[in-house]
A and B are shown apart, each in its own frame.
Chain A
Amino acid sequence: AVLSCHRSYRSRPTHGIGRYKYLLPKEGPKRKKERVQMKEISPGTEFEFGDVNIQMTSYDLCLVEHFAQYVHRLCNRLGIRVIESYAMPTKTNEVLFLEERGSKMQLDAVLTTHQRVVQIRGLSSTFAPILLEMIQSSQPEGVHLLMKQHTEADFKRRLKSRPELEELLAQMS
């Protein structure tokens, strides 16, 4: 009895008849989950500021989002390099007030504070006051503006806290 083989013979014209992977576009190396790593903070030179954070805080979400978008677009237009534009975690506050006739605290409102950050690099020292002026003149109501140098602590505030790791470290040392 002749065995029926499904092997393709290199001499036969039907060799490699089932191939199709070579026709598909190249996928590239499989990307593992990208680790959240802090980008290097540049200190800046004598004539240029390093990484500057423009932080906008407000109770109103839409205003702060639109203002952040406006600032980002302004920086793009003026040729200032924007490294990152992200949102800080939202903070929720419960406002309680004491009733006039009574000792019980009554819930007044639940306020959410939103914060957006636009990070820029390479702001020249002569242009910085002009940029400040433009951002200030278009600052909407209720939006608190803060511009400061970027530090590692600012980055750490975005990350989740790890109490177990800290406990272990405290125990080890």
Chain B
Amino acid sequence: LCSFSSCSSWLPQRVPLRGNHWQSSLLTPRTALPVRAQPKKKKKVDVKREQAQKDRMKKKLKKLERAAPELIPIEDFITPLKYSDGSRVRSLPPLSPEETERRVLLLKKWCLFKQRQDEAEKKAIQTLVESQQEALKELRLESEELYQAAIRRDEGLFPFEREGPTYTPPLPGYDPPEGKCVDITKVYTQ
């Protein structure tokens, strides 16, 4: 390299310095053309390696995709092992005849109560449906347009959310202690 720099010193400025054939262009003196032998090998090997890697990944992907997705097991339905111990047996005391009589009569009263409740529910549904049908019939007589609009499904109905009633609703002026809720649900992965 030092020899080339020496020859550049006596060359007139107009003649471009073309002695250094590794220089690709005059404008970019810093970058040089890649050296012949080694980098091309690197390119080939790189491409091959990359291809092989991609193929391996695709194969892995196909294998994983073929496996069917599994449902998360529900902990409610798995009885804990401590309850499957057969040695613990409950022994109930014998009941007196009055007690059995009382229980049987109570059971009958409960059955009657539930039957009445169920019948009331069925009756309520029936009356609701009947009154609705009557109202729709009257509406149809009034105007066909309104009837058609009423028959259509209500998009605003869903989603519908409602909290159940509580025995102890939240107190208005209560100041709860500071704390946090940590989610410790077990995460299942396939």
Contacts and interface: CB of A to CB of B under 8 A. Distances in A.
Contacts of B89: none
Contacts of A78: 125
A41 interface: no
A114 interface: yes
A52 interface: yes
Interface in B147-190: 151-154, 157-167, 177-190
B142 interface: no
B158 A149 contact: yes
Contacts of A33: 68
Contacts of B125: 78, 130, 134
B158 A148 contact: yes
B105 interface: no
Interface stretch (B9-17, B25-33, B72-80): B72-80
A172 B61 contact: yes
A128 B72 contact: no
A168 B188 contact: no
Contact of B121 (A44, A91, A134, A162): A134
A96 B76 contact: no
A66 interface: no
Given A87-B76, A130-B128, A143 B64 contact: no
Given A126-B132, A159-B69, A94 B181 contact: yes
A97 B179 contact: yes
29 contacts: A36-B69, A49-B153, A78-B125, A89-B74, A93-B182, A93-B183, A94-B181, A96-B181, A108-B179, A125-B154, A128-B154, A129-B157, A141-B166, A141-B167, A144-B162, A146-B161, A146-B162, A147-B158, A147-B161, A149-B159, A159-B70, A160-B190, A162-B190, A163-B189, A165-B61, A165-B64, A165-B65, A168-B57, A168-B60
Interface of A: 33, 35-36, 44, 46-49, 52, 58, 61, 78, 87-100, 105, 108, 110, 112, 114, 125-130, 132-134, 136, 138-149, 158-165, 168-169, 171-172
B159 A144 contact: no
Contact of B74 (A87, A98, A162): A87
Nearest to B164: A143
Given A97-B179, A158-B71, A133 B158 contact: no
Given A61-B76, A142-B164, A160 B188 contact: yes
Contact of A144 (B163, B167, B187): B163
Nearest to A50: B153
By Cβ-Cβ distance, the 3 closest A-B pairs, closest first, are: A97-B179, A148-B159, A125-B153
A133 B128 contact: yes
A149 to B, nearest CB: 6
A125 B152 contact: yes
A145 B162 contact: yes
